Amino acid sequence: MAAKALTALLTVLAGVGAALALYWVLNKISEMLPERLEERLKPYFYILPAYAAIVIFVVYPAILTVTYSFQTKVGFPTQEFVGLQNYKDLLSNEAFRQTLLNTLLWIAVVPALTVVLGLMVAVLADRLQTRGENTVKTLIFMPMAISMVGASVVWGLIYDFQPKGRPQVGIQNAIVTSFGGDPIAWVQENTFHLNSFLLMVMLLWMNVGFAMVLLSAAVKGVPGETLEAARIDGANERQIFFRVVVPQIRVTLITVFITVLIGVMKVFDIVYVMTRGNFNTNVLANEFYLQFFNNNDQGKAAAIVVMLMIAIIPIMIYQVRSFRAEEAGR
C-alpha cells in the first residue's frame, strides 16, 4: 500500500514538474523574441500545450477513425480501401438495425426521465428541513460514486433468475414467488423490450442524483422577487413552477439533458455486464466492442464510432449555441 501511495505521489510530482519545466522553456523562448513579437506571441505560447494535447489526443484519433471506417483489414497490417462498404454492411444487417432501435429507445427514455425525476427530487428535497434535505440528497446522489460495473453487479442481484423450484436470490423474483407467481427471467424477457427498459432503470438510478444536484442549485438560484411577484399577481404554485421557475432554469435543464444524452449514446458497461448484448438488448457501444474485439473487424468498429460522432456533433453545436445565447442575454 505504501509503495502504491509513493508511486502515485511521484507520478503527480513528475507531472507537475514536467508542466512547470515546459512552461518555463516556452517562456524563455518567447523572451528571446523581439519585444513587439513577444507581446503578441507569448499568450499563444502558453496555450500551445493545450492545443497540442487536443490535436494529439482528440483530432488525430478522430481523423484516423474516419479513415479506418473506409477500410477493411486483409492481412495484418495491410488495409484495403472499401469506401462506404462498412456502412452498407452494417445498415443492411437486421441485427444492427435492431441495435440502432435499442439505442434510440435509450436516447428517447433515459435523458428525459433523468431530467424529470432529478427536477422532481430537487424540488421535493428543497421543501424539507435543512438536515432532512441534506440526508435525502446524499442518499440519492450516492449511486454516482459507484461504477457502472459495480451498479450492474448490484442490480444483477435484483434481477437474478433461478428456475422454478429453486431458491430465488433476486429480490424481484423473491417477491413474485412469495405471491405464488412463477419466477421471471427479467433480463432475458424481450416482450415489448422489457429487458432494455429494466437496464435503463439502472442508468436512471445512477444519474438522477447528478441531475438533482445541478437542478437543485438552479432552483435555489431563482430570484425570490420573481416568485413573490407571481404570487401577488395571483398565480398558484403550479403556475409559478412551470411559468416562472422552469423558464429561468432552462439552460441548466438543457445542460443536464445533453450531458445525460451523450452518456446514453455511449453506454456500454451496463449492457456488457448484464447481457453481453444478447436477448435483443444490444446498443451501439457494445456493438463496437463486439466488432473490434470479437470479430476483429476494425473497419466496421470505426464506422460505428463515426456514426456516433456524427450523431453527437449536432447536439454539441446546439449546446454551445444555447450557452452563447444565455451569455448574450445577461
Mean pLDDT of the chain: 87
Q: Are residues 154 and 182 in the same domain?
A: yes
The arithmetic mean of pLDDT across residues 109-113, rounded, is 93
pLDDT confidence bin for 251, thresholds 50/70/90: confident
One-letter identity of residue 305: V
- Of 143, 162, 157, the closest CA to residue 203 belongs to 143
Q: Are residues 251 and 102 in the same domain?
A: yes
Q: Are residues 64 and 92 in the same domain?
A: no
Look up the CATH number of the domain holding residue 226.
Answer: 1.10.3720.10
Q: pLDDT tens for residues 256-314? A: 999 999 889 889 999 999 999 888 999 999 999 999 888 888 889 999 999 988 888 88
**What pLDDT shows up at residue 330?**
61
CA of 73: how far to CAs of 92, 152, 288, 323, in Å?
20, 34, 16, 43
Q: Are residues 258 and 144 in the same domain?
A: yes
Domain that holds residue 41: 2-68
95 half-sphere exposure, CB direction, 13 A CA radius: 11
Q: Are residues 182 and 309 in the same domain?
A: yes
Whether the Cβ atoms of residue 273 and residue 149 lie closer than 8 Å to each other = yes
Q: Are residues 220 and 316 in the same domain?
A: yes
Q: Are residues 204 and 313 in the same domain?
A: yes
**What pLDDT shows up at residue 130?**
63
One-letter identity of residue 318: Y
- Of 200, 220, 118, the closest CA to residue 151 belongs to 200
pLDDT above 60: residue 167: yes
Whether the Cβ atoms of residue 71 and residue 82 lie closer than 8 Å to each other = yes
pLDDT above 90: residue 324: no
Whether the Cβ atoms of residue 198 and residue 136 lie closer than 8 Å to each other = no
Q: Are residues 287 and 208 in the same domain?
A: yes
Number of domains in the chain: 2
**What pLDDT shows up at residue 241?**
87
**What pLDDT shows up at residue 234?**
85
Share of the chain above pLDDT 70, in %: 95
Q: Are residues 42 and 174 in the same domain?
A: no
Q: pLDDT tens for residues 206-247? A: 999 999 989 988 988 888 888 888 888 888 888 888 888 888
Strands (E), 130-200: none
Whether the Cβ atoms of residue 52 and residue 276 lie closer than 8 Å to each other = no
pLDDT confidence bin for 329, thresholds 50/70/90: low
Tell me the pairing of strands 71-75 and 78-81.
antiparallel
d(CA 158, CA 162): 12
Burial label, 189 (beta-carbon count in 10 A; 0-12, 13-18, 19+): middle
- Domain boundary among the residues 37, 68, 99 is at 68
The arithmetic mean of pLDDT across residues 100-128, rounded, is 89
Asked if the structure places residue 77 within a domain, the reply is no
Whether the Cβ atoms of residue 68 and residue 298 lie closer than 8 Å to each other = yes
Q: Are residues 152 and 107 in the same domain?
A: yes
Provide the 3-class DSSP secondary structure of residue 75.
Answer: strand
> What is the dihedral angle through the alpha carbons of 6, 8, 14, 19, rounded to the nearest 10 degrees?
-150
One-letter identity of residue 106: W
Q: Are residues 116 and 203 in the same domain?
A: yes
**What pLDDT shows up at residue 78?**
59
Whether the Cβ atoms of residue 255 and residue 289 lie closer than 8 Å to each other = no
pLDDT above 70: residue 46: yes
Q: Are residues 25 and 159 in the same domain?
A: no
**What pLDDT shows up at residue 133?**
72
Asked if the structure places residue 204 within a domain, the reply is yes
Provide the 3-class DSSP secondary structure of residue 209.
Answer: helix
Report the range of poorest mean pLDDT among 28-32, 71-75, 106-110, 320-324.
Answer: 71-75
pLDDT above 70: residue 77: no
Asked if the structure places residue 83 within a domain, the reply is no
**What pLDDT shows up at residue 193?**
85
Q: pLDDT tens for residues 79-89? A: 788 889 999 99
pLDDT confidence bin for 38, thresholds 50/70/90: confident
